[in-house]
Amino acid sequence: MLLAVSGGPDSTALMHAAARLAPAGSIHVATVDHRLRPGSAAEAEAVAAKAARLGLAHHLLVREGEAPATRLQAEARRARYALLAACAGRIGADRVLTGHNLDDQAETVLLRLCAGSGPAGLAGMRGARALARGVTLGRPFLALAKAQLAAWCEAGGIAFLRDPSNADDRFARARLRRLSPILAREGLDPARLARLAERLARDDAALSRTARDAFAGLRIDAERGVRLGSPAALPEAVTLRVIALAMAEAGAEGPERLERLEALVLGTLLPALREGRAVCRTLRGLTVETTLRGEVVLAPAPPRKGGNAVRGRADGLLGKGSPAAYIDDE
């Protein structure tokens, strides 16, 4: 196993617990230095020293290149997981464990609520998911509060670091963290938000299973792209997922955004299918059209003329600047 350890109370607790429980030689530790603030290199060295005292191999992973100008934390997360997956591959680890906890889960749910996410996004972080081919990302502490993990470290005399970015109001997580006591007084505490995530994860799994079955039943052989029989008789929640599956299989570009998918499916495709009209729209590098026979056909869009022809049609359908409701895991 490869443990992602930054030096905070949650990942420090993870490292010490794993060192006590796992067979000798089965645990490696990795620290990612994003080089985004002074002192990050020294913090990584401190983690390496603690790992060495526990008899654990340590890997320093450094993010190269300039810091992104926008979406700093999202891009840092993407880079962090890429570095961890690559390290796992090098050392032959099939699991990467992180110290994400109940407070992190609650913040994730709030962030996605603010972004307008649907059930898949509001289900929050999963306890386990695929990180790369042959590598699973696991989060064993999702049911434990950060305060519990810090108290466990303090009771055992285990020193840990405090990340100053956790209190930096430039970041949405830090701003939401300041609101947490107010929300808790109204009953919306981290435990209740985590339960909401569990319930939505359960519902999301059922909807996803139903959508996969429906997609398989509607699919028609096509020489190019994906062709489906009409999904108009399906519940709209299932239809959205069926079209999302079809777009993924057809090679859609970029992230999936729920508002754009809803505008395409609920605002254009389903009305056209129910009225027997043929329409064609473009989204995420694909043409998506309904035929007079009541089918839905998805195929790669033709090359852009002047660099913005396809984008223009998508913006005309969906509206520029619509909020991004990402439904990915963190």
Stated pTM of the model: 0.83
Residues β-bridged to residue 226 = 298
What is the token pair recorded at 133?
A: 């081919």
Q: Is pLDDT larger for residue 5 or for residue 166?
A: 5
Q: What structural domains does the chain harbor?
A: 2-192 (3.40.50.620), 221-318 (no CATH)
Tell me if residue 293 falls in helix, strand or coil. Answer: coil
Q: Distance between CA atoms of 231 and 251, rounded to whole angstroms?
A: 20
User: Over the chain, what is the mean pLDDT?
Assistant: 89
The per-residue pLDDT for 69 is 62
Q: Give the model's pLDDT for residue 328.
A: 40
Query: According to the model, what pLDDT value does residue 238 have?
Result: 97
Is the confidence at residue 307, as pLDDT, over 60?
Answer: no
Q: State the DSSP string of 196-258.
A: HHHHHHHHHHHHHHHHHHHHHHHEE--SSSEEE---TTS-HHHHHHHHHHHHHHHT--S--BH
Q: In the chain, pLDDT over 90 holds for what percent of residues?
A: 73
For residue 65, pLDDT beyond 80: no
| Residue 254 near residue 328, CB atoms below 8 Å | no
Cβ(10)–Cβ(99) below 8 Å? yes
Tell me phi and psi for residue 190, to 5 degrees: -55, -40
Please write the tens of the pLDDT for every residue from 244-299. 999 999 999 998 899 999 999 999 999 999 999 999 999 999 999 999 999 999 99
Task: Give me the pLDDT at residue 319, please.
Answer: 34
Task: Give the three-class secondary structure for 98.
Answer: coil
- Model pLDDT, residue 311: 39
> Which carries the bigger pLDDT value, residue 50 or residue 303?
50
Q: Which of 43-52, 133-142, 189-198, 308-317 has the lowest mean pLDDT?
A: 308-317
Annotated binding site: 6-11
Q: What is the pLDDT of residue 255?
A: 87
Which two tokens mark 65? 């290149």
Cα 280–283–289 angle (5° rounding)? 20
Asked if pLDDT for residue 23 goes beyond 90, the answer is no
Question: What does each C-alpha distance from 41 to 2, 148, 163 come to in angstroms?
Answer: 20, 27, 13
pLDDT of residue 150: 96
| pLDDT of the residue at 166 | 72
Residue numbers belonging to the annotated binding site for ATP: 6-11
Split at pLDDT 50, 70, 90, the class of 320 is very low
Rounded percentage of the chain residues whose pLDDT exceeds 70: 91
Q: Is pLDDT of 8 > 90?
A: yes
* Residue 264: both structure tokens together: 């395409």
Per-residue pLDDT, averaged over 225-234, amounts to 96
